[in-house]
Amino acid sequence: MTDTAAAEALDSAIAVIGMSGRFPGAPDLDTYWKNLLGGVTSITDFTEEELLADGADPDEIRGRDYVPAKGVLAGADRFEAGLFGFNRTEAAALDPQHRLLLQTAWSALEDAGHDPLGAPRRTGVYVGGGVTEHMLAAQTDPALAARIGALQVRILTDREFLAPWISYRLGLDGPSLTVQTACSTSLTAIHLACQALLLGDCDTALAGGVAVDTVRSRGYVHYQGGIFSSDGRCRPFDEASGGTVPGNGVGVVVLRRLADALADGDPVRAVIRGSAVTNDGSARVGFTAPGVDQQTAAIVEAWTTAGLDPADAQYLEAHGTATELGDRIEATAATAAFKGALGTNSIGLGSVKANIGHLDAAAGVAGVIKTVLMLEHAVIAPTAGAGRAHPELALDDSPFHVVTEAEPWPEPEYGPRRAGVSSVGIGGTNVHVVLEQAPPRSRGAESPDPQVLLLSAHTEDALRALAGRLATALRAPEAPTLADTAHTLRFGRTPLAVRAYVLAADREEAAIRLAELAEGRTAVAPAVAEDLRAIGEAWLRDEMLPWPGQGRRVSLPTYPFGGESYGALTLGTASASREQESRQADSMAPDPRTPSSGAPDAQLPDAQLPDAQGPEAGDGLDASVRALLVETLGLNDAGDLGMTYFAAGGDSLAAVHLVGCLRDDFGIDVPLTLFLEELTLDELARRIVESREPDDALDALLSEFENA
């Protein structure tokens, strides 16, 4: 390749500047890497007791072909709702995939050293997800629709709104696309994000995917000739392979044009040199079957776009479902594409599905994140449980060898470390991405000046957890400089309500002070740098003084999301809810005193009837309106009515729903603009009650009788 061609190829390079993910057995990427390096299989085997306790069908799980195994994502029902502006009712209705993707997008931006609520302008979002039990249950539950509105249910649960919610809650104004190509969804999303960056549609992009079909403990039924393994283990390209295992997970990467990332000092973790997407069309034996030619074409096109040859690769992260047909076709296609490799068996071959199962819409991004971590650590992780390669794949005469144990990955003589990542979707969409190690970045000189580290979180517990993570990070061998750490905490994090600061002269002292903070002890401040102390005290008061130092964005521990469990709707629960409503309808005559706000047992006592006559009528209507606000906004009780509507998590859709309920249930017509005013909910309720127009004729008649 000529120097000109090489320069043009680099002009089309995309930097991975941040990433975040949660996978089976791995709540964060540090744990994910440790599991990958150790060849850990993170598939959970459920006991019968666990399955029954989580509502499984006893007859199904005791069947001969039931396999009680899955790649489980722990804590998939937990959510920091308040951090993202959702009230309790919305958070409970919000699909777990939306919750997880919002938090992972936040963490990915933090990993890139960017404030999640102050991300660069023209940041796009390209993500996708799968069908969930929660979504199906919510959209078939009339009680939920009555309570919060049918449109709100759809917006909070349908996967087509995965990307828009991220754009809305994080204030991102670039394109916002929800991508769906089945199992290749998240790798397709990454490809589309790269294309958007190169075309100038956006300057920064979030890309990835999520898959949480259910938060309940569930296995699957094995069918002879189907895609699922008979023993709950996935063994790609292995002689013992027999199918895949389902799993749940989420991953997001932050992308920028390489030239922009380098110019702005972003922490580049890897480089995407090229990508391509194809479809098998009708050139396959069936709709769900893969095809050879277009898989080969996707690989060749991606490397051609990169200005490289597939032979330049040292590793291929394959789709690797461990199905007989899938592995055979993928091996054939890859062998044809990489045929020019330097030497037989010179390219490592693996699939992360052996570790975590098949993550469906999140499978591709799981493979990308794995490969970026290997490029960073210069180690090729083993394929978990790999033994002898399947003889029918003819890998002995191919460019590949299945990686059975961790291998050093030195930088080749002819260029940087490079790898390909493939993903194949049911329906025929094939994607391939070419990854390359990041250009070298100097660590930076350690400043002799003391620094102030500004910390904030949504809760006290989160603040302590964050301090503990930072303390550990600053003691790591490759820890960033204290000045870069301070700079990133100041400019690469969203200022939240619970705050603290630490003063330190060096990294070790900072780690000690942070550890004290994590343990709930008051950090002892050094008797120096009063100007820095003034900055810290101003930070506590939500003020800011001029920042005194210089630094770069670096990768630091991200926000320690916890949050409470908001559960998830299940089809059985929705069905039971409808049956309960039906029984109540059969046992009770229609009662005009019962509001249609979605709570079937929310019958009001006579004194609270909105149309009751007498001196209590106003009090009753006021109580009913307040109860409606409490229910719709998911407040704990009427004591929370001192907040404003938007502070309580209200939005325009909830306002539309409330306007409809007030009109239909209480005969009150209020303008939508009333909810846009800066009123406490207490004042809002009073204004709503006062807006009810009296019947002038009836009032005049009553007055005439009283005066007679």
Predicted pLDDT of residue 284: 78
Predicted pLDDT of residue 126: 98
Say which range, 215-219, 489-493, 698-702, has the weakest mean pLDDT.
698-702
The pairing of strands 270-279 and 347-350 is unpaired
Q: How many CA atoms lie within 13 A of 351 on its CB side?
A: 30
Predicted pLDDT of residue 589: 33
CA dihedral 543, 545, 550, 554 (to 10 degrees): -10
Cβ-contact 355, 175 below 8 angstroms: no
Q: Please spell the DSSP secondary structure of 560-596, one letter per residue.
A: ----EE-----HHHHHHHHHHHHHHHHHS---TTS--
Residue 662 scores a pLDDT above 70: yes
Cβ-contact 212, 73 below 8 angstroms: yes
Residue 549 scores a pLDDT above 90: no
- The CA-atom distances, in angstroms, between 381 and each of 273, 355, 367, 594 are 22, 11, 12, 62
Mean pLDDT across 515-535: 79
Mind listing the pLDDT tens digit for each residue in 42-56? 999 999 999 999 999
Instruction: For residue 696, give the H/E element and its range.
Output: helix 696-707
Q: How many CA atoms lie within 13 A of 653 on its CB side?
A: 15
Predicted pLDDT of residue 584: 35
Tell me the average pLDDT of the chain.
87
Mind listing the pLDDT tens digit for each residue in 493-503? 999 999 999 99
Q: Please spell the DSSP secondary structure of 349-418, one letter per residue.
A: EE-THHHH-B-GGGHHHHHHHHHHHHHHHTEEPPPTT--SBPGGG-GGGSSEEE--S-EE-PPPTTSS-E
What distance in Å separates the CA atoms of residue 321 and residue 234, rounded to the nearest whole number?
7
Residue 591 scores a pLDDT above 50: no
Of all residues in the chain, the percent with pLDDT exceeding 90 is 66
Residue 358 scores a pLDDT above 80: yes
Q: Which residue has the higher pLDDT, 71 or 694?
A: 71
Cβ-contact 228, 243 below 8 angstroms: yes
Mean pLDDT across 328-334: 93
Residue 609 scores a pLDDT above 50: no
Mean pLDDT across 177-188: 97
Mind listing the pLDDT tens digit for each residue in 633-651? 888 766 678 888 888 878 7
What distance in Å separates the CA atoms of residue 335 and residue 201, rounded to the nearest whole number?
35
Mind listing the pLDDT tens digit for each residue in 278-314? 999 988 778 888 889 999 999 999 999 999 998 889 9
Residues belonging to the chain: 708
Cβ-contact 633, 654 below 8 angstroms: yes
Mean pLDDT across 252-258: 98
Phi–psi pair at 273, nearest 5 degrees: -85, -25
| Residue 205 three-state SS | strand
Predicted pLDDT of residue 421: 98
What distance in Å separates the CA atoms of residue 26 and residue 120, rounded to the nearest whole number?
29
Predicted pLDDT of residue 612: 37
Mind listing the pLDDT tens digit for each residue in 222-246? 988 889 999 999 999 998 999 999 9
Q: Which residue has the higher pLDDT, 602 or 36?
A: 36
The pairing of strands 204-211 and 123-129 is parallel
The pairing of strands 315-317 and 418-424 is parallel
Residue 512 scores a pLDDT above 70: yes
Residue 595 scores a pLDDT above 60: no
What distance in Å separates the CA atoms of residue 402 and residue 384, rounded to the nearest whole number?
11
